[in-house]
Structures are given as structure tokens and as C-alpha cells.
Amino acid sequence: MYFSIPDTQELNDGNGSTYVGFNVHINGVFHCTVRYKQMYNLHEQLRKEYGADILPTFPPKKLLPLTGGQLEERRASLEKYIQILGQDSKMTASELLSGFLLSAQQETTGERKQEINIDVYTMTNHQISMTVLSTDRTSQVLSKACSQINLPPEYASYFALFLIRKEDNGDIILVRKLQDFESPYISHKSIQDADKIVIRRNYWLINYDLELMTDPVALNLLYTQTVSDIEKGWILCTKEVRSQMAHLQARLAKREYIDTARTLKYYGYMQFQPCYCDYPSPQTKVLVAIGGQELSLRIITGPIVKEGCFKVTRMRCWRITAIHNKMNIASNSSSSLNSDVELSFEYLMSKDNLQWVSIMSSQAILMSICLQSMVDELLLVKNGLRPRQVNDARRNWSYMKRDGSSQIISLDEPDVYPTTTSHNGNSHSKISDSFSIKRLQEKFSTVSFKSGKEFVENHAFEGISDDDL
């Protein structure tokens, strides 16, 4: 996860006093606003759960009110702290951290737990309508969607929920993958209505297809996504093969259709919008595709298309650097897709020759997340494991709200607004400074993500040998 705290805001506690809120962005998108004491409480619980040695140093408390310079120092220190957490796979898989972020999103938006109707779509626009709780996290909504279409529970983790956007020219853009620290309903409500939640497969090793195709529902999900990807040109095929595929589609020969598609270029890859790369030369316009344990670049400058492939096992590390221009973003309704974000990776071009390659794309963060999940899958396979959701054992973790009251984090039925008891014994049933949806939409349209130079180490790189060069 890529965390940042680009700015702060002054909030009113409803009793005439003010306090500072730190705006937390995750993977380039505004997620929540929290107080220093809330993050300190999270740190203390993480320390008890995992031990102090695994955690970074938490910014110290101050006895006196902060000056402007001290406030900026605290913001930068909190950002550094949470960025280090985001680079630790144990922390990012922690139910405690997910529960905190989910609760913070709910408190920031002021969303009450209630039954709501939500639609999830397949890539061919088939609608899955269901009733969920407004505070359900992503895995719960995914599970209910899979149950709605009778997909066996053991196959649910092979799929994920994504936000997509349809452009005026008909292009489909994968905005981002919904994570388990957020509520799909809240996240979708806070952005443009034109975005949709879709279900797509969530693995890179296409041999998993063979198991999924034994189940008719899983087969249909793979089939509809494959049809969509071919229609959009995300999977390349000749005119003759396209005719053959159309014949199979007319006969509803779903397995044969997928078997044929599995032999085609870019099957199982995720495609991205045109962007710019500094390889082989600066400002080279490229199409990026990720899959098959590689990142593919198709150079589209000029009439001849050239392709270059970078194996994920030969990437030693990568980083995200992004600075958004608030003025430019605020004037553009597609803000999250028009920001200057850079993915850079250090690649082993040849023995003893490491070179940095940078890609400038509004989807750079999604590219990085794809690379990380591909590496995670490679390491799972290497260790003889299979992709499954592994959760921490349930604990009685607590979430400290902004007013100082605490409540038990419930990941099965999340709700940040039960009647709770504060540390001074007073009862609180609601927060006094909830955000309006209008204000949240404005914040999303002026999101400003700025990351440092922290590297994501690629542990799959460690196993590379001379035979792989």
C-alpha cells in the first residue's frame, strides 16, 4: 500500500475547540482524516500485537501546542511512519490495520450502518444486484456477490472488485482495485457516478483457469471477462482467429472459447492507457500491459510498433513518485486519471548491469500494485502454496474515535457509531464533525498524493541466477 499524508486541516469538535486532522491518502486516493492520538492508539495496539522491534519509531508527543513548523514536522513524521507500515507485508495483511482504516473511513464520511442496494457488474455489463450493509468491507461485498451468482465460496478469492470508468470515446479504464480496508459503497459514493464496480479475476498464473473452468459459474465469469477483453482489443488476435472466436461465442462454447483465448497474446494481462516512458529514450509513448510474469511495453511512436518485455523476477525494486497539481486536477472531472505519477523500477538488463526505467502514467500506482501481487503469487507458488485469504486470529482490537471514545473493531459487522463510552466516562452516540458528501467529492477532486523515494524490494529477485540471464 502507498500511504501519504500530504496535508492537514483544522476541525471543530462541536464544543468550540479545534484540533488538527491529518488527511490520509492510500494508493493515491484520499481515504480518511485522523487525529494524532488515533494513530498513536493504533501504534500501541500494533506494538502489543507484533512487538516493538517490527514497528518504526512513532513521532513523540508534545506537551505544548505545536507551532507551524512543528505541525509540519509531525505531518512529515506521521507520513514516514505510515509509509513504512505500508511497505511491510505483515502489516498490510494485518486485520488490525485494515479494521482501523475501515473504521476511519466510516467516521470520516459519517456513514451509518444501514442496508443499501448495490450493483456489481461483470465486464460484459451483466448486473449483479444485492443488498448489503453500507459499512461492509470489500471482502464481504465480494463474498455476497459470489453467493448471489452461486459461485462456490472456495473460488471467491480468485476474484476481486475493481472500479472502472467508461470514457466518452467508449474506452474502459481500470481505475483501481478495491481493497479490504475500505467499504465499496462508501468509496463508490464518494466519486463520480459514472464509475462502476466490476468483478474480475484476481490471479496471474493462468493455470488456475483449469480448476475454475470445472465450475459452471466460475467458467462463466472467466468467459465474460475474456469476451470483453477481446472486444476491447486487450487480447490480441488476427482477423481469422477473431472469426473463429465469434463462431465459438455464437455456439456458447465457453470452455473452447477460453481455451483458444489462452493461446493468444496478452491473455491474462492487465492493460493500461497510453502513457510515457524513458525507455528506450525519453518521452517515448507506450502501451503498458502486465501479466505472464512480465511488464510489456509497446512503443507506439511512429507507424511501427515495437515491443519490449521486462521480467518481474529481474526487477530488483521499484518506487512510486507522484506530485499532483491541485489547480489542474480541480478543473478536470477525471482528476484521478490526469495526475503526474511515476513508476520507476531498477532492472537487471544484463549481468552486473542494473538500469532504472520510469513510466509516467496516471495508472502508475495500479501498475505497482499489479507487480507486487504478481511477486506475491510467484513466492506462493515457489513455497507450494495457493492463493487464499489468510486472516489474523480474531482479537478484541479497539478503534479510538476523534472524540476520544473507543469501540471494538468488528470486521464481520463494522459499525463505527454504536453508543460507546469515552475515557472520561461520558456517553457518545455520534460524531460531531462528520463530512458532507459534497465536501468529500471536492476533496476527491483535489487529491494530492506525494510519496517519497522509498523502495519496494522485490524478494523474487533474490532467487535469480546466471541461468536466468
The three-class DSSP label of residue 390 is coil
pLDDT band at residue 193, thresholds of 50, 70 and 90?
low
Asked whether 165 and 192 are in contact (CB, 8 A), the reply is yes
Cα distances (Å, whole numbers) of residue 216 to 143, 221, 264, 405: 17, 9, 23, 49
Reported as a pLDDT band with limits 50, 70 and 90, residue 380 is confident
Query: What does the alpha-carbon distance between residue 469 and residue 466 come to, in Å, rounded to a whole number?
Result: 5
What distance in Å separates the CA atoms of residue 425 and residue 66, rounded to the nearest whole number? 28
Q: Specify the pTM.
A: 0.83
pLDDT of residue 66: 77
The Cα angle at residue 225 between residues 221 and 228, in degrees rounded to 5: 145
Q: With pLDDT > 90 as the criterion, what percentage of the chain qualifies?
A: 55
Closest CA to 158 of 268, 35, 315: 268
CB 206 within 8 A of CB 267: yes
d(CA 189, CA 332) in angstroms, rounded, equals: 19
Q: What are phi and psi of 120, to 5 degrees?
A: -120, 140
Residue 421 grid coordinates = 463510552
CA dihedral 122, 126, 127, 132 (to 10 degrees): -30
d(CA 280, CA 147): 47
Sheet of strand 196-201: strand arrangement: 127-133, 115-121, 196-201, 159-166, 172-177
Look over the chain and give the mean of its residue pLDDT values, rounded to a whole number: 83
For residue 441, pLDDT over 80 is answered with no
Is residue 345 scored above 70 in pLDDT? yes
Q: Torsion-angle region of residue 37: left (phi > 0), alpha (psi -120 to 50) or beta? A: alpha
Contact indicator for 286, 300 with CB cutoff of 8 Å: yes
Q: 276: part of which helix (H) or strand (E)?
A: strand 275-277
Instruction: Please state the separation of Cα 146 from the chain's center in Å.
Output: 20
Q: What gap in Å lies between CA 255 and CA 71, rounded to an integer? A: 59
> Is the pLDDT reported for residue 89 higher than 70?
yes
What pLDDT is recorded for position 438? 41
Cα–Cα distance measured from residue 309 to residue 416, given in angstroms and rounded to the nearest whole number = 47
Sorted by where each begins, the domain ranges of the chain are: 3-111+413-440, 115-261, 270-383+452-468
Looking at domain 115-261, its CATH architecture is Roll (3.10)
Query: Given this model, what pLDDT does residue 220 score?
Result: 96
Q: Round to the nearest angstrom and report the end-to-end CA distance of the chain.
A: 30
**What is the CATH number that goes with domain 270-383+452-468?**
2.30.29.30
pLDDT on residue 213: 96
Beta partners for residue 236, in sequence order: 265
Work out the burial of residue 121: count CB atoms within 10 Å of its CB; fewer than 13 is exposed, 13-18 middle, 19 or more buried. middle
Of the pLDDT bands very low, low, confident and very high (cuts 50, 70, 90), residue 130 is very high
Q: For 165-187, write each residue's pLDDT tens digit.
A: 888 777 888 889 999 999 999 99
pLDDT at 447: 39
pLDDT at position 412 is: 59
Cα 256 to chain centroid distance, Å, stands at 33
One-letter amino acid of 391: N
Query: Phi and psi at residue 418, in whole multiples of 5°?
Result: -75, 165
Query: Which is higher by pLDDT, 242 or 89?
Result: 242
For the chain, give the longest Cα–Cα distance: 75
The Cβ of residue 265 has, within 10 Å, a number of other Cβ atoms equal to: 12
Q: How far is CA 357 from CA 302, 344, 361, 375, in A?
A: 21, 5, 13, 18
Q: How large is the average pLDDT for residues 389-417?
A: 67
pLDDT in tens, 313-337: 999 999 888 654 433 333 333 333 3
Note whether 3-111+413-440 and 270-383+452-468 share their fold: no
**CA torsion sign, 410 to 411 to 413 to 419?**
positive
**Whether residue 32 has pLDDT greater than 50:** yes
CA–CA distance, 19 with 294 (Å, rounded to integer): 47
295 has pLDDT over 90: yes
pLDDT band at 432 (very low <50, low <70, confident <90, very high): very low
- Report the distance separating Cα 324 and Cα 166, nearest Å: 22
For residue 449, what is its C-alpha cell?
498524493
Between helix 216-231 and helix 254-261 the angle, nearest 10°, is: 50
H helical segments located in 51-137? 68-86, 89-92, 95-109
Please give the class, per CATH, of domain 3-111+413-440: alpha beta
Q: Write out the three cell numbers for 358.
A: 520510469
449-318-392-158 Cα dihedral, nearest 10 degrees: 100
Least confident of 178-187, 216-225, 446-455: 446-455
Question: What is the structure's pLDDT at 449?
Answer: 42
